[in-house]
Amino acid sequence: MKRYALHIAGEAVAPHSGTWFDTQNPYTGEAWAHIPRGNAQDVDAAVQAAHQALTTGPWVEMTATQRGALMRKLGDLIARDAAQLAATEVRDNGKLFAEMNSQLAYIPQWFYYYGGLADKVQGATLPLDKKGYFAYTRHEPVGVVAAITPWNSPLLLLAWKLAPALAAGCTVVVKPSEFTSASTLEFAELFAEAGFPPGVFNVVTGFGAEVGTPLVEHPLVAKISFTGSDATGRLINERAGKLLKHTAMELGGKSPNIVFDDADLEQAAFGAISGIFAASGQTCIAGSRLLVQENIHDAFVQRLLAVARTARMGDPMSPDTQVGPVTTPPQYQKVLEYITIARSEGATAVLGGEKGNHDGTAPQCGQGWFVQPTIFTGVNNRMRIAQEEVFGPVLSVIPFKDEADALAIANDVRFGLAAAVWTRDIGRAIRMSDRLQAGTVWVNTYRAVSFMAPFGGYKDSGLGRENGIDAVREYLQTKAVWINSGAVAGNPFVLK
């Protein structure tokens, strides 16, 4: 099996622990590569390298335009190696090659976009109420950034953090999920080829207590950018707050996908399927609560079932597969437990609700961690299945009466990451979009994202924004500069 190395100060290095751990293929359940087991010593080496690159050497001396040129070169290299990186991600997280290949082909756009923004960060001259002074602002990198990334889309969600951080002039240490580290380690090899100075980008792999905690607590780390569960995000944010570190948190969701009776029902059905069964439901924006107007509820559920029953589970590398496995054994067990909870609360599984090959009818699932696409009806918004993030291919269908009822149900969760509205009434679309408590609202579509559009959550779904111009500001701090252009010194004991 392939044995990977850490990436620190531009070099591939062995972990201080001298040990590696296996990473498994979710489709076969078999180990396919060895990942280095980093520790606090490796974290310190990586952060020291990032701090060194931030304070002395070529990265500091580069103009923003030169940094942008390196980022565009990196984008070209990602485009060149997109298929290879996508295949690595499929081996590690079990998502469809068709989706991962599309993601990897799209990721270069983040580096082109932010590479172009790098030299567009502008300060301002300030009008003052005091004579004899000139003042201006400048925006400087916040410092060394710790990026902690999840297992569902490792490189895409890394790009959301890394591209604006580099544009701002920061240096970065990444801790990828221990379940899906391989693609990030392969990605790191592109930095030297692109011309980045050593230490600008570093990768330390391993487990939370051994790598994540010392990275968050390292005194030279200025900002932590995290994507993952709200429970872990709370712990990181609490610790970072005590240490007065900047944070950005992209956390969980329980997003409502709202279908009104005047919607294009065929498109809405496809949108509902895309919202929950694409990526086997393992996305923070999954439309896991399908709110359907009660007068079309039964007919729409039948339409939904007709589409969902055609979904093909199997090898994620096959172009014929539409639903892949769940990525990790713990998540696989969690999804199955929520299905049991839903039944115990009185919900009815009108589709699925079992392991992928529980009765021998899906031999293409082999020994993989598959869960059948599952639809529950008879759900009310107080059930755990409607309130808690499952992160799997499990859909809860909830009827509603009218706009007010839909809003009440949609907003009655502690999350607020995304929402969707399906209607032909533009006035209704605007009213609903205004009142939904979510960082992203889609109208007559679902799962659309772009490097140009800010993304983040309300309530327990996170802090800060990724993507768009707003994301660069997450990695900058503002300095005000005062210049005495002729003011006469007065009483030194009185504030001017």
Do 107 and 74 lie in one domain? The reply is yes
Q: Total structural domains in the chain?
A: 2
Per DSSP, the three-state class of 278 is helix
Report the pLDDT value the prediction gives residue 365, as an integer from 0 to 100.
85
Give dist(CA 111, CA 75) in Å, integer.
5
Which CATH number goes with the domain that contains 143?
3.40.605.10
Residues in the chain, how many? 496
Report the pLDDT value the prediction gives residue 245, as an integer from 0 to 100.
97
Do 375 and 285 lie in one domain? The reply is yes
**54 found inside a domain:** yes
**451 found inside a domain:** no
**449 found inside a domain:** no
Do 202 and 264 lie in one domain? The reply is no
Report the pLDDT value the prediction gives residue 492, as an integer from 0 to 100.
85
Query: Is the whole-model pTM more than 0.75?
Result: yes
What is the residue whose two structure tokens read 């392991």? 355
Do 268 and 242 lie in one domain? The reply is no
What is the residue whose two structure tokens read 């979904």? 311
Phi then psi dihedrals of residue 409, to 5 deg: -70, -45
Report the pLDDT value the prediction gives residue 287, as an integer from 0 to 100.
98
Do 29 and 151 lie in one domain? The reply is yes
Q: Are 130 and 487 in contact (CB under 8 A)?
A: yes
Do 331 and 419 lie in one domain? The reply is yes
DSSP string spanning 180-237?
Answer: S-HHHHHHHHHHHHHTPPTTSEEE--S-IIIIIHHHHH-TTEEEEEEES-HHHHHHHH
State the Rg of the chain over Cα. Answer: 24
Give dist(CA 105, CA 202) in Å, integer.
23
- CA torsion angle for 355, 357, 362, 367 (degrees, to 10)? 120
What is the residue whose two structure tokens read 């090898």? 315
Give dist(CA 144, CA 54) in Å, integer.
7
Contacts of residue 383, Cβ cutoff 8 Å, sequence gap at least 6: 342, 345, 346, 347, 396
Proportion of the chain in helix, strand, coil states, percent, rounded to 5: 40, 20, 35
**371 found inside a domain:** yes
Do 270 and 237 lie in one domain? The reply is no
Do 126 and 149 lie in one domain? The reply is yes
Look up 284 and say whether it is catalytic.
Answer: yes
Which CATH number goes with the domain that contains 304?
3.40.309.10
**493 found inside a domain:** no
Give dist(CA 196, CA 201) in Å, integer.
8
Do 15 and 61 lie in one domain? The reply is yes
**231 found inside a domain:** yes
Per DSSP, the three-state class of 374 is strand
Report the pLDDT value the prediction gives residue 357, as an integer from 0 to 100.
75
Strands 171-175 and 201-203 come out as parallel
Report the pLDDT value the prediction gives residue 235, as an integer from 0 to 100.
96
Written as one letter, the residue type at 50 is: A
**455 found inside a domain:** no
Q: Which residues pair with 471 in a beta bridge?
A: none
Q: Are 237 and 249 in contact (CB under 8 A)?
A: yes
Give dist(CA 183, CA 97) in Å, integer.
14
**456 found inside a domain:** no
pLDDT in tens, the chain (496 residues): 899 999 999 999 999 999 999 999 999 999 999 999 999 999 999 999 999 999 999 999 999 999 999 999 999 999 999 999 999 999 999 999 999 999 999 999 999 999 999 999 999 999 999 999 999 999 999 999 999 999 999 999 999 999 999 999 999 999 999 999 999 999 999 999 999 999 999 999 999 999 999 999 999 999 999 999 999 999 999 999 999 999 999 999 999 999 999 999 999 999 999 999 999 999 999 999 999 999 999 999 999 999 999 999 999 999 999 999 999 999 999 999 999 999 999 999 999 999 987 666 677 887 899 999 999 999 999 999 999 999 999 999 999 999 999 999 999 999 999 999 999 999 999 999 999 999 999 999 999 999 999 999 999 999 999 999 989 999 999 999 999 999 888 888 888 7
Report the pLDDT value the prediction gives residue 367, as an integer from 0 to 100.
84
Do 247 and 260 lie in one domain? The reply is no
Give the range of the structural domain holding residue 8, as residue numbers without chain letter.
Answer: 2-251+461-480
Given the residues 284, 403, 466, 474, the one annotated as active site: 284
Do 266 and 203 lie in one domain? The reply is no
Report the pLDDT value the prediction gives residue 358, as an integer from 0 to 100.
64
Given the residues 89, 178, 186, 250, the one annotated as active site: 250
* DSSP 8-state secondary structure symbol assigned to residue 391: -
Give dist(CA 311, CA 305) in Å, integer.
10
Do 141 and 72 lie in one domain? The reply is yes
